[in-house]
C-alpha cells in the first residue's frame, strides 16, 4: 500500500470528480491521503474540507495559512485553525513556511505568520507540513528557534539541498518527495533522495500540481504517487513494494497511527 502525504483534494480542480479520483487512488493501492486546507480570510474552506474527512476513511487532514497568504493571518484565522485541529482526523498544521520566490506576502509578514503557527502547533502537539522556497537558511533557523521541542513534521515536496535536510532531521522532520523526483533533469534531487535515512522518507503528489512523468503537464492526483514510489525504488535499489511499506510505516509513525 502507498500513502500520499500531501494533496489538495478541496481544490477546484477536483470539484467535479473527487469521488472518481479517490476510487482511482484505491485501485492504485493508495491506502491513505492527507489533504491540505490552506485557509484565507474568507474562511470558506472548512465545511467542504471536513466533509472530505468525514465521508472517506482514507482521507486525513492538515490545515494552515500558506506563506502566500501570510498577510491575512490573524486572530480569526488562528481561531478557525485551532477549532479544525480538534477534528479527530486532523493530523497536523500546515502547509506553512516561507516562499521568497513570489513574495505574495512580504517577507516580514511571512516570518511573523510562520513563527506564530509553529508556536500554536507545538502547543497543540501537532506535526507541521513545511513549504520552503528560496528561503532555506531562514526556514531552518526559525524551525530551530521555534520548533526544536516540537513534534516534528514534513518538509513537503522537497527540492532543497541536502544541507537543509540534514539540519531538519534532528528536529524530527521527514523528507517528502513528489513528482519532481521523476523529472528528467532532477538528477541532483535523486542523489539527495538516495542519502536520506530510510526511516525519514515519505512520498506525495501535491495534487493537483506537479504531476510525475509520464503525466507531467496534466492534473496530478493521488493515484500517481505510485510513480514517485517507483522512481524512489529505482534510486535506492529496492522494490516498489518495499518503498510502499517503508514510507507507509514512516507516515504512521510520524502521526501516531501505528497499531
Residue 23: pLDDT band with limits 50, 70, 90: very high
Per-residue buried b or exposed e for 188-227, using 16+ beta carbons within 10 Å of the residue's own CB: ebbebbeebeeebbbbbbbbbebbbbeeeeeebbbbbbbb
Residue written as grid cell 518495499: 242
- 40 has pLDDT over 90: no
Give the residue extent of every domain in the chain: 2-254
The CATH architecture annotation of domain 2-254 reads Alpha-Beta Barrel (3.20)
Ordered strands of the 90-99 beta sheet:
2-7, 30-38, 59-64, 90-99, 128-133, 153-155, 173-177, 201-203
pLDDT of 65 reads: 97
d(CA 132, CA 157): 9
pLDDT of 46 reads: 61
pLDDT digits (tens, 9 = 90+) for 123-163: 999 999 999 999 999 999 999 999 999 999 999 999 999 99
For the entire predicted model, the pTM comes to: 0.96
- 43 has pLDDT over 60: no
pLDDT digits (tens, 9 = 90+) for 202-212: 999 999 999 99
- 61 has pLDDT over 80: yes
d(CA 167, CA 177): 17
Amino acid at each position: 500500500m502507498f500513502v500520499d502525504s500531501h494533496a489538495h483534494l478541496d481544490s477546484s480542480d477536483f470539484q467535479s470528480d473527487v469521488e472518481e479520483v479517490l476510487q482511482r487512488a484505491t485501485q492504485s493501492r493508495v491506502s491513505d491521503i492527507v489533504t491540505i486546507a490552506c485557509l484565507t480570510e474568507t474562511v470558506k474552506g472548512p465545511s467542504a474540507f471536513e466533509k472530505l474527512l468525514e465521508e472517506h476513511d482514507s482521507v486525513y487532514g492538515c490545515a494552515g495559512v500558506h506563506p502566500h497568504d501570510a498577510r491575512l493571518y490573524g486572530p480569526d484565522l488562528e481561531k478557525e485553525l485551532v477549532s479544525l485541529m480538534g477534528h479527530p482526523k486532523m493530523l497536523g498544521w500546515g502547509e506553512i513556511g516561507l516562499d521568497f520566490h513570489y513574495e505574495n506576502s512580504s517577507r516580514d509578514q511571512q516570518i511573523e505568520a510562520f513563527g506564530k503557527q509553529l508556536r500554536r502547533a507545538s502547543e497543540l502537539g501537532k506535526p507541521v507540513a513545511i513549504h520552503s522556497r528560496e528561503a532555506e537558511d531562514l526556514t531552518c533557523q526559525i524551525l530551530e528557534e521555534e520548533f526544536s521541542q516540537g513534534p516534528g513534521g514534513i518538509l513537503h515536496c522537497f527540492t532543497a539541498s541536502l544541507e537543509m535536510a540534514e539540519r531538519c532531521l534532528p528536529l524530527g522532520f521527514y523528507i517528502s518527495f513528489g513528482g519532481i523526483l521523476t523529472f528528467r533533469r532532477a538528477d541532483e534531487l535523486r542523489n539527495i533522495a538516495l542519502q536520506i535515512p530510510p526511516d525519514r522518507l515519505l512520498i506525495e503528489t501535491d495534487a493537483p500540481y506537479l504531476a510525475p512523468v509520464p503525466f507531467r503537464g496534466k492534473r496530478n492526483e493521488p493515484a500517481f504517487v505510485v510513480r514517485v514510489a517507483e522512481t524512489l525504488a529505482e534510486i535506492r535499489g529496492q522494490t516498489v513494494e518495499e518503498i510502499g511499506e517503508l514510507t507507509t510505516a514512516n507516515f504512521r509513525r510520524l502521526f501516531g497511527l501505528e497499531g
